[in-house]
Amino acid sequence: MENLGSLAILLAFCAAIYAAVASITGRIKRKPFLVVSGARAVYAVWSLITIGAAILVFAIMTGDFRFAYVAEHSNKAMPILYKFTAWWGGQEGSLLFWSWLLSTYAAVVTYTNRRKHRDMMPYVIGVLATIQTFFLMLNNFIANPFQMLAQDRLIVSVPDGNGLSPLLQYPSMAIHPPMLYLGYVGFAVPFAFAMASLITRQPGEGWIHTTRRWTLVTWLFQSCGIMLGMGWAYHVLGWGGSWGWDPVENASLLPWLSGTAFLHSVMMQEKKGMMKVWNMVLVSATFLLALFGTAITRGGLVQSVHAFARSDIGKYFVAFLALGIAFSAYMILDRLDYLKSENQLESVVSRESSFLFNNLILLASCFAVLWGTLFPVISEYLNNNKISLDADWYNRVMVPIGLFLLFLTGVGPLFAWRRTSIDSLRRNFQMPGIAALVLAGALFAAGVHNFYALVAFGFCLFVALTVIMEFVKGGKSIAAKNDMNLVRAMVELTHRNTRRYGGYLVHMGIVLLFIGFTGNAFKQSEVKELNPGGTMQVGHYNLKMVGLDQSENDLYQSHSATLEVSKNGEVLGFLKPERRFYKSSRESTSEIGLRTRLNEDLYLNFAGMSDDNQRAVIQAFVNPLVTWQWIGGLVLIAGTLVCLVPSKVKLQYARTEVVGYTTKHATIEK
């Protein structure tokens, strides 16, 4: 079976090379047979990688501990769900998973465009197959998942494996890495179309129309992955937060930021024929940052609590990234004449300028995060002293940038195309602006003196009101014309232009996320050693330990503490944080105690036992407004799904067809 798996990915490697060479050669030499055979090779690559992946998953599920990968990342006691997730839990398996996802994307793209973009598609396939070849090279020659355990040149087996990292044995981790990887890998598709468009000097925005939906889908996957990762960090790591500016967290954020800029900028090219160079730079940067994120996660380029595999594979990623940057830069610079804008910016106070500022700020935030992530590597290379930038540095840099982005989120819809009149500005800004100032003043009078928090809450109300005003204004117009209530009219409004109003819902999700983030400014924490009967206080909560227990099963040993939670003398309930020690991996994890409300979370972590093993070390946090992060994430995802639904008007056009052919048509045609 292991030989069949190795043979499958080796044949896939050969087929990927053939797909790239045949597609490009066939297009250049005008050989349709080669172009068709290159497209069919894409399907062969998918079939072969699927066979290899199925063999690896079967070995994991059946506990075939002759496989080195299975022995390292699985064991008999693991539940079936976590055995399956072991596929991407380690270096070799995750790279095979990357290859399988890429082959799936490539096969779908090839099939759905088999009768479209005849000039571009051979180059699209060539770019995707080249990327596929790189990852299959890693699968075959650098990190082969089908390596066997051997002793004296004989294949051997171990009685049981080490098991998946305990930190990964959490329900959301069954979908968090696949979501992120669907985002990382999916950005290869718009990149391939962009490069093919440059190579063939395609007229118009055909590649934009084809890839916008692809980009939106992969951006949605990336967003889901980031939100699931935040939830995992909050519930598993036990440090009381959801985002710590860890390098792997940053790596997932980087392509999301540049992808967000691209999704905004692409509207300018569609509507105005502007920002063509911007779009090429952004789509290239997004894919290359996705590769960079994969290199960090699986290549060991930087140290991270999230990076579960470390090796020297990073140098191969660096080399491939360098080639990708050089190729993209050459193509963009060589086609600058072809990328000239068809219109010019007429006014600073216009929707066009808001898109431009939005892109500049998003790229500035992207550069700041990238610099902070790579700074330890750069400092170690320059002076042999690794200097890491902590969360305070990121917050000092990113909070002002984030607030400016939030402001632009509200301002953009209020500006008109080309230029905005003074009367229009006064009419649109007056109510949201006054409301934001009143809220900031009321919060200051109530004792909130944190400057950034006041600005954030004011901007959140400003943006929320601008979004609501857009829905109400359009809804009233439809309600008056069609004799329906306002709510139904707003639903109809959204259905008529899903892309625009779905985008507004995404903006509302961003507002709710910022409300949750702002709550960090008011976070409270305490740490104390407690024996049964001991008490502690955090914020306005009183905690009393009423029990300290131990337990054991096949997977782990655990200590747990039962704490009574009260407020102003009223008992609110009991929380039971737990500390688990996994036998196979010799690692510990936390099972937090959590009381969630809309206004705040009470978060308890069992940090360990005291030196004399008589008292439990309890970390207690009061985290204001955290729930709004999760609500905001759901609204953002819902808004993105709305954007993906075809608009009602477009559906009506799609159903329109010519039902007859008359002499009038013939005359016109002549």
Is the distance from CB of 328 to CB of 195 less than 8 angstroms? Answer: yes
Other CB atoms within 10 Å distance of the CB of residue 655: 7
- The 3-class SS string of 582-630 reads ECCCCEEEEECEEEECCCEEEEEEEEEECCCCCCEEEEEEEEECCHHHH
pLDDT tens-digit readout, 441-466: 999 999 999 999 999 999 999 999 99
- pLDDT of res. 326: 97
Three-state DSSP state, 131? helix
Structural tokens at position 287: 């894919």
- Mean pLDDT value of segment 117-136: 95
Other CB atoms within 10 Å distance of the CB of residue 419: 16
Other CB atoms within 10 Å distance of the CB of residue 475: 22
- Mean pLDDT value of segment 323-334: 96
pLDDT tens-digit readout, 383-411: 878 788 889 999 999 999 999 999 988 88
Is residue 512 predicted with pLDDT exceeding 90?
yes
Is residue 660 predicted with pLDDT exceeding 60?
no
What is the percentage of the chain residues whose pLDDT exceeds 70? Answer: 93
Orientation of helix 206-236 relative to helix 188-200, angle to 10° = 160
Confidence of residue 197 (pLDDT cuts 50, 70, 90): very high
Alpha-carbon span 595 to 406, nearest angstrom = 30
pTM of the model: 0.92
- pLDDT of res. 96: 96
> Whose CA is closest to 37, among 21, 53, 54, 57?
21
- Mean pLDDT value of segment 487-494: 92
- pLDDT of res. 270: 79
Is residue 545 predicted with pLDDT exceeding 90?
yes
416 secondary structure, DSSP code: P
Three-state DSSP state, 535? strand
pLDDT tens-digit readout, 7-43: 999 999 999 999 999 999 999 999 999 999 999 999 9
Whose tokens are 């979501």? That residue is 179
Amino acid identity at 431? M
Is the distance from CB of 243 to CB of 234 less than 8 angstroms? Answer: no
| Mean pLDDT taken over the chain | 89
> Whose CA is closest to 459, among 521, 400, 505, 415?
400
Three-state DSSP state, 544? strand
Give every CB contact of residue 56 below 8 A, 6+ residues apart in sequence: 5, 67, 69, 87, 93, 96, 145, 146
Dihedral Cα 430, 432, 437, 439, nearest 10 deg:
150
Is the distance from CB of 472 to CB of 486 less than 8 angstroms? Answer: yes
Is residue 650 predicted with pLDDT exceeding 70?
no
- pLDDT of res. 417: 67
Is residue 217 predicted with pLDDT exceeding 80?
yes
- The 3-class SS string of 158-188 reads CCCCCCCCHHHCCHHHHCHHHHHHHHHHHCH
